[in-house]
């Protein structure tokens, strides 16, 4: 009986030993793949913080493949749609290069969680990241011309993060400055000097690029595509029709184009615009008192409050022109400091006009030639850049009549002021254009 008991105990110990051995073997098999068998990333030769210096440059991220692209057909509409899209995202335009086809905005601190009204930033995760650190974005558009005369627009959103170098306290004086109250004046620092042999001086605060916001780029592309489709629909005659509105919604006062700089002999006077501003002989300017407010386009008449008559340019210099009085108006003669106004001419920029319908007083070619000569631009179609539509009488031919109605509908849709031929001649004080 004692022998049987010993045999049973031996069998139990043998089974427990076998179980322990099997468990140890299984544990060893599981740990072997995770064991470090050789040095991993030794710090002496490859620091854990080693980064590719190229990733710290904006060009590295901007050269990455596009996340979304949009196709357009008209270059002017493409650029205008890009500008409108950038403004829709509350960005400020920084540079518009028509020749290179590039539009860039000024950097803008990105949307945070308590700014739900802002449309920028792609995802909810990015919004919370913006709230935890100083992150800004820059929106840019690259427009490339295709062989089939169309254009490819690529929106890009560069993400940058702000870095503030830590302030190292190495002596008692720096300790007192760092932890003293606001009454102690801390000396300003523009840069911090690191190891001169390995690092140049870097500013205390700077921005470095981290990525591209591809989700926001897709959103920008979708909005840009809708803007182009809407512009194309308007250009194709999608704007409605209605009664002719002579002056549209132009209710703001007209703006002067310069001043009288001095008086000359024999009734001549000098104005402060010349060849540099593309003034040419034969141009007419209306004279207003220096303190007068010019009338609105809707209220403009043959005799306007504050008007002293109108003059004609007889000779042009580099920065000034000589004029003669053609028709005086009012009891006060012109004097230095009075304002001058020309409806076509705009100092520092070009007014855009579109012409539609039959002209009774002068032909279309004569009218467009006058606009071009007086430093205006003639748009073949009414678009977002058009400042005024000069509308003649409706043509009799069907094709011309449809173009006439399309131009009028576009102007009403875009709220472009519509000016009749008679009012246009009154505005420029020039009643016989073909005789010049």
Distance between CA atoms of residues 269 and 258, nearest Å: 13
Domain end marker among 341, 362, 387: 341
> How many structural domains compose the chain?
3
Residues 119 and 267 in one domain: no
Answer whether residue 193 is part of any domain. no
What the block records as the tokens of 67 is: 């996340």
Answer whether residue 209 is part of any domain. yes
Residues 91 and 214 in one domain: yes
Q: Residue 136 in contact with residue 109, Cβ under 8 Å?
A: yes
- For helices 75-88 and 214-233, angle between their N-to-C axes, nearest 10 degrees: 130
What the block records as the tokens of 256 is: 């002067």
Residues 134 and 230 in one domain: yes
Distance between CA atoms of residues 239 and 411, nearest Å: 8
Answer whether residue 334 is part of any domain. yes
Residues 95 and 147 in one domain: yes
Answer whether residue 6 is part of any domain. no
- Burial group, residue 274, by CB count within 10 angstroms (0-12, 13-18, 19+): buried
* CA distances (Å), origin 390, targets 3, 22, 209, 359, 380: 124, 97, 50, 10, 12
Q: What is the pLDDT of residue 273?
A: 92
Q: What range does the domain containing 308 cover?
A: 258-341
In this prediction the pTM is 0.44
Residues 288 and 317 in one domain: yes
Residues 302 and 423 in one domain: no
Answer whether residue 141 is part of any domain. yes
Residues 318 and 424 in one domain: no
CATH number for 304: 2.40.10
Domain end marker among 321, 341, 361: 341
Answer whether residue 176 is part of any domain. no
Read off the pLDDT of residues 321-364 as tens digits, 9 standing for 90 and up. Answer: 999 998 888 788 899 999 999 999 988 888 999 998 888 766 77
Residues 356 and 317 in one domain: no
Residues 310 and 358 in one domain: no
What the block records as the tokens of 109 is: 């601190």
In order along its 436 residues, the chain shows pLDDT tens digits of 555 555 555 565 566 656 666 666 655 555 555 555 555 555 555 555 566 777 778 888 888 888 888 888 888 888 888 988 888 888 888 888 877 889 999 998 888 888 887 878 877 888 888 888 889 999 999 998 888 778 899 999 999 988 876 666 666 656 565 555 554 454 554 444 555 544 455 566 778 888 899 889 989 998 888 888 876 665 554 443 333 334 444 567 888 999 999 998 888 999 999 988 889 998 999 999 988 889 888 888 888 888 998 899 999 988 899 999 988 887 888 999 999 999 999 888 889 999 988 887 667 788 888 899 998 999 988 988 899 999 888 888 888 888 888 888 888 888 889 988 888 888 887 544 334 3
């Amino acid at each position: 009986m004692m022998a049987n008991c010993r045999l049973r105990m031996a069998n139990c110990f043998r089974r427990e030993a076998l179980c322990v051995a099997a468990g140890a073997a299984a544990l060893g098999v599981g740990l072997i793949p995770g064991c470090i068998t050789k040095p991993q990333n030794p710090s002496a030769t490859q620091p854990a913080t080693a980064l590719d210096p190229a990733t710290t440059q904006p060009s590295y991220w901007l050269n990455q493949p596009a996340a979304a692209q949009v196709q357009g057909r008209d270059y002017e509409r493409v650029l205008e749609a890009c500008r409108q899209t950038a403004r829709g995202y509350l960005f400020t335009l920084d540079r518009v290069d028509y020749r290179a086809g590039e539009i860039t905005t000024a950097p803008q601190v990105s949307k945070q969680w308590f700014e739900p009204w802002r449309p920028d930033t792609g995802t909810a995760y990015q919004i919370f990241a913006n709230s935890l650190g100083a992150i800004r974005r820059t929106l840019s558009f690259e427009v490339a011309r295709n062989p089939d005369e169309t254009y490819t627009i690529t929106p890009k959103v560069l993400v940058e993060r702000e870095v503030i170098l830590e302030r190292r306290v190495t002596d008692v004086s720096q300790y007192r400055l760092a932890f003293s109250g606001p009454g102690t004046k801390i000396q300003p620092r523009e840069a911090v000097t690191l190891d001169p042999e390995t690092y140049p001086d870097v500013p205390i605060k700077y921005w470095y690029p981290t990525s591209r916001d591809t989700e926001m780029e897709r959103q920008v592309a979708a909005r840009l595509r809708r803007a182009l489709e809407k512009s194309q629909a308007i250009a194709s005659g999608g704007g409605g029709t209605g009664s002719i509105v002579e002056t549209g919604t132009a209710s703001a006062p007209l703006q002067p184009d310069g001043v009288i700089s001095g008086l000359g002999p024999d009734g001549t006077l000098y104005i402060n615009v010349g060849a540099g501003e593309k003034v040419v002989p034969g141009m007419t300017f209306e004279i207003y008192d220096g303190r007068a407010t010019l009338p609105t386009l809707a209220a403009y008449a043959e005799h306007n409050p504050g008007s002293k008559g109108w003059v004609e340019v007889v000779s042009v210099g580099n920065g000034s022109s000589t004029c003669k009085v053609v028709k005086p108006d009012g009891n006060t003669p012109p004097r230095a400091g009075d304002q001058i106004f020309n409806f076509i001419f705009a100092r520092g920029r070009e007014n855009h006009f579109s012409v539609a319908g039959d002209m009774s007083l002068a032909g279309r070619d004569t009218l467009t030639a006058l606009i071009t000569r007086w430093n205006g631009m003639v748009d073949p179609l009414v678009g977002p850049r058009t400042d005024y539509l000069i509308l003649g009488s409706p043509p009799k031919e069907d094709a011309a009549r449809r173009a006439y109605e399309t131009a009028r509908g576009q102007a009403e849709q875009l709220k472009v002021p519509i000016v009749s031929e008679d009012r246009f001649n009154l505005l420029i004080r020039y009643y016989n254009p073909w005789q010049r």
